[in-house]
Amino acid sequence: MVSGNLFHCRKNSWPPEEYLSRTALQLFDFDSAAPPEQAWRRRLNSHANILKEFSVTFTEAIKMVRLGIRLWSYVREEASHGRKAPIDPFTRESCKPSASQGVPLGGMGSGSISRGFRGEFRQFQIVPGLCEGSPVMANQFSIFISRDGGHKNYASVLAPGQHEGIRKVGDQGISSWDWNLNGQHSTYHALFPRAWTIYDGEPDPELKISCRQISPFIPHNYKDSSLPTSVFVYTLVNTGKERAKVSLLFTWANSIGGVSHLSGDHVNEPFMTAKGNPPVTFAVAACETQNVNVTVLPCFGLSEGSGTTAKEMWSKMVKEGQFPQENFNSGPCMPSAPGETLCAAVSASAWVEPHGKCTVAFSLAWSSPKIKFSKGSSYHRRYTKFYGTSELAAKELAHDALTNYKRWEEDIEKWQSPILNDVRLPEWYKFTLFNELYFLVAGGTVWIDSSSPANIRNNQQQLTNVEAGDCRAVNKHATTKSCYSTAANFGLETDRKEYSCNDYDEDVGRFLYLEGVEYIMWCTYDVHFYASFALLELFPKIELSIQKDFAKAILSEDGRKVKFLAEGNWGIRKVRGAVPHDLGTHDPWSEMNAYNIHDTSKWKDLNPKFVLQVYRDFSATGDMAFGVDVWPSVRAAMEYMEQFDRDNDGLIENDGFPDQTYDAWTVHGVSAYCGCLWLAALQAAAAMALQLGDKDFAEWCKTKYLKAKPVFESMLWNGSYFNYDSGSSNNSKSIQADQLAGQWYTASSGLPSLFDDFKIKSALQKIYDFNVMKVKGGRMGAVNGMHPNGKVDETCMQSREIWTGVTYGVAATMILAGMEEQAFATAEGIFTAGWYWFQTPEGWTIDGHFRSLIYMRPLSIWGMQWALSMPKAILEAPKINVMDRIHLSPNTNGLRTSHTHGQTGVRKIATKAKCFGNSVFNCSC
């Protein structure tokens, strides 16, 4: 645990006073309008540097040439079927990756939209597996200000105007708008799931503006956290001597990113469907109160010939600050022609008295209730349980967001405050911890309400098409008001389905998240091993749901033939007993193992990782029904690994190819990484078997463990750390940063240490001294491999990389070993090297070239938080060595026991836990 005074002398990493005047902070110090002390900050005029992308060396390229040829052929074959290959290094994004990202919008699993720190909406991921990175520049907030007396008028888009394509002379589109914001007096403050943009006297020197962005990401709230909506609350403070009329404008293009806005047949209001994918509806809304008047423009275009052009819309706002009231009755517009872009706008106007304050709230919602994967399977998203399956739900989502956002904020602050107020923790850690959670929204997440849309119950109640609806108060902070919106729609279903929320207390549906936006595979398990601490801490029912999906997969087999691209050999897609690498790409849950570089049924880390995660989750939640349900899969996963113990010494051996998560880094013989995972899995499986009453299997695990542990230490321990592997290659004695991954999970689960404390601390100190401190003085994280002579291991691309998630995992292991100072110094290197603005990569090289932006593994920073505050179920567990509690029978010799042994004990526990479906015990291996 962190000591009480370890970090007391550390200052705020970025105190707000360095970015914002104290006077402005005081003016906003009410109603959450002021940014928090702990936040990631940028000035809006900051230059968004183009990030430097990783490239292989000439030697690495030569080694991978045959893989490259096979991969190229595979990518082309998938494209011929209209599909995107899960790994495609040959296709680059149309927009260059830059340091311009910000907090994403919405909850989890319903499609996401990110918002850059300068205000642009980008990274549209509405269609599963598809990321449209370029910003849609028509999506903007703008402001129009006039003061009594008719002078001091201001109009500007609330984003700096340094963007390509918005300075076209004579343009009828967004180039005709006023882009007067310089950004030097405006700052962005990010603390996921909220963000603040403060305009400190620009464009009007006498008006202070705070825009607060709020999304419903609320731990343990499995309803609101699934909602595709966000709220933007503007707080206006007039420091001048004259009354000011302020009109805020929210414009939105009928687009899901990329060139989708040019495809035609788009209508603002209910109508046609987008080609090829299920329909999507957007709604933008604003709240009308006693002081705020709301008007709408349901449709305008970006080119000459539109009914109302963007230029005409802007001119009207400059002159009048609002739209005609009769627009509410205008009905749907004509469908757009190919190449034409339709947009919608909502305006909210208010008078702000001298030295007065005013609040204006907008919301954005999108409804894409049905998701369809490229091989045909369709599902309904989680939020449809509460809002039905009509795209018109976007209107209700936008409406409800405006009435509920204060309750969301209260819940968010209650969750975050204990960590933010913990004086023992460094400031950079606090906001990085929360900001890394962006991936659970922007990581291509999919959250469905059940395994099949056929399970959804129908209700024939029709949804009437209304433009304005009553918005009733739902908490003490809200007042009765009207909520006006205009919707931009891609489609319409005629029926609405409603459900009782109480019916779904225990059913959280099924959840997917990508390995990364460049590696399009769902729930990649070797990476989930690192990231899963975040889900277990914040949404444990989702974590258990994912584990159940993999438990079912272990006991299944898919005999379809697959060509493995690294070696060019053929095998079957999924082998019974093997943990799948992933849940698939084009037909998740039904067609697993989209990864086809290597045959992952021969990987040595996946099965132990499953056992370790299951035991950690089991011990942390105390969910006996979960333990009983997955136990047959735990046994099958362990017994499957026997084939890799070829000399019967209890240890598994690697097979001379990259047969683990480091899939470019070859391993020979016994390895520190996989061997340590195996020892930890034996102990975890033994502990779980003991708790479930499967004594025979507990004995089997203990016998294996007692044989394997001394062999492992004798083969790899060199006096100060564990060698990379037991082979004779030039990197066999390398110092691997991740060598104690098994010990990390052992300690995280409350199990006895695998090795003597001296050996654990010695190895971690070696990693700190070499892998961390010998790379840029410790300011970059932990490099994966380091030779004992102090030179980076350049055996392959991965050995010379620094992996963000691994660095956090190493830091977590250090915390658990009582090495807090080294832990935070190690992890701080990730932040110091240049945290990647809500697109954290898998890793980078020591010269700062990134690989694979927006990646899952960096969520492992929550492994550090887990180490700092483990649940009571683990902390208060009996401290008796589990192996001492297992008494070996005289006839136990370490041979594989029958799978039927121990069933009686498990059945009894299942009965006590009220588990149903005894078919779980009828599996055979």
Q: Are residues 704 and 807 in the same domain?
A: yes
- What does the pLDDT read at residue 493? 27
Q: Is residue 72 part of a domain?
A: no
- What does the pLDDT read at residue 505? 41
Per-residue pLDDT reduced to its tens digit, 213-266: 999 999 999 999 999 999 999 999 999 999 999 999 999 988 765 444 444 444
The span from the CA of 753 to the CA of 744, in Å, is 9
| Total domains, the chain | 2
Q: Is residue 303 part of a domain?
A: yes
Q: Are residues 223 and 355 in the same domain?
A: yes
Instruction: Look up the pTM and report it.
Output: 0.89
DSSP-derived secondary structure for 743-774: HHHHHHTTPPPSS-HHHHHHHHHHHIIIIITT
- What does the pLDDT read at residue 281? 87
Q: What is the phi-psi region of residue 170: left when phi exceeds 0, alpha when psi lies from -120 to 50, beta otherwise?
A: left
At 759 the three-state DSSP class reads: helix
Sign (positive/negative) of CA torsion 68, 843, 86, 738?
positive
Q: Is residue 828 part of a domain?
A: yes
Name the DSSP letter for residue 668: E
- What does the pLDDT read at residue 680? 98
Q: Is residue 835 part of a domain?
A: yes
Q: Are residues 611 and 523 in the same domain?
A: yes
Q: Are residues 215 and 130 in the same domain?
A: yes
Query: Residue 57 corresponds to which amino acid?
Result: T
Q: Are residues 34 and 157 in the same domain?
A: yes
Q: Are residues 701 and 841 in the same domain?
A: yes
- What does the pLDDT read at residue 469? 27
Candidates 298, 299, 321, 315; CA nearest to 245 is 321
Non-local CB neighbours of 869 within 8 Å, separated by 6+ positions: none
- What does the pLDDT read at residue 473? 22
- The tokens of 921 are what? 């015990």
Q: Is residue 312 part of a domain?
A: yes
Q: Are residues 296 and 417 in the same domain?
A: yes
Q: Is residue 805 part of a domain?
A: yes
- What does the pLDDT read at residue 627? 97
Q: Are residues 406 and 518 in the same domain?
A: no
For residue 805, give the H/E element and its range: helix 804-816
Non-local CB neighbours of 62 within 8 Å, separated by 6+ positions: none
Q: Is residue 792 part of a domain?
A: yes
Percent helix, strand, coil in the chain, to 5, is: 35, 20, 45
| pLDDT < 70 positions in the chain | 1-15, 17, 48-50, 93-98, 150, 162-170, 256-278, 306, 331-340, 451-506, 835-836, 878-880, 891-904, 907-925
Residue at a domain's end among 448, 469, 488 = 448
| CA contacts within 13 A on the Cβ side of 637 | 31
- What does the pLDDT read at residue 496? 27
CATH at residue 719: 1.50.10.10
Q: Are residues 529 and 647 in the same domain?
A: yes
- What does the pLDDT read at residue 467? 28
The span from the CA of 379 to the CA of 449, in Å, is 8
Q: Is residue 705 part of a domain?
A: yes
Domain housing 314: 19-52+97-164+171-448
